[in-house]
Amino acid sequence: MTGALTEDERRAIEADCARLIALYANLNDEARWEEAAALYAPDGLMTRPTAPDAPIVGQDAILAAFRARPPRTTRHVCSNVVIDVESADSARGTSAMLLFTGAPAPLVGSFHDRFVRTPQGWRFSERRGTLLFQP
């Protein structure tokens, strides 16, 4: 795409990026680490909501971080997704997150994302998680 985006093109990018957020949550809950890590651009950056000041950079490092997690049952619930399209190849977004782990209270936070279009489709270039309420 070149030039100004049409309304349909903008909406398609918003839908693709919102789907990426939901897919990531589902893959994470299913411990499908390779597929979750593949949703990042090769040089993508991730910060977990529980460690917002410890960036993990690159698909290989992200995959290793996922694999290093102790096994657990989780359910991520993402809502209030807002995607802002910047161009035909970049967008940013925010979403609210609840993480249920069987602990007495869920973790409540948000994600601030940057998206990039790659030959494989839309991917996270940055996924920064933060907690609103500290456990």
Q: Residue 60: enclosing H or E segment and its boundaries?
A: helix 59-67
* 52: its two tokens: 């917002």
Question: What is the predicted pLDDT for the residue at 103?
Answer: 85
pLDDT tens, residue by residue, 8-32 = 999 999 999 999 999 999 999 999 9
Q: What residue type is assigned to position 79 of the chain?
A: S
Supply the pTM of this predicted model.
0.93
Are 113 and 126 a contacting pair, CB within 8 Å? yes
Cα angle value 135/59/65 (rounded, 5°)? 35
pLDDT at res. 113 = 98
**pLDDT reading at 1 higher than 80:** no
Evaluate if residue 65 carries a pLDDT over 90.
Answer: yes
Domains of the chain: 7-133 (3.10.450.50)
The answer to whether residue 2 scores a pLDDT higher than 60 is no
Structure tokens that stand for 22 in this block:
């939901």
Which parts of the chain are beta strand (E)? 40-48, 51-57, 75-87, 90-100, 107-118, 121-133
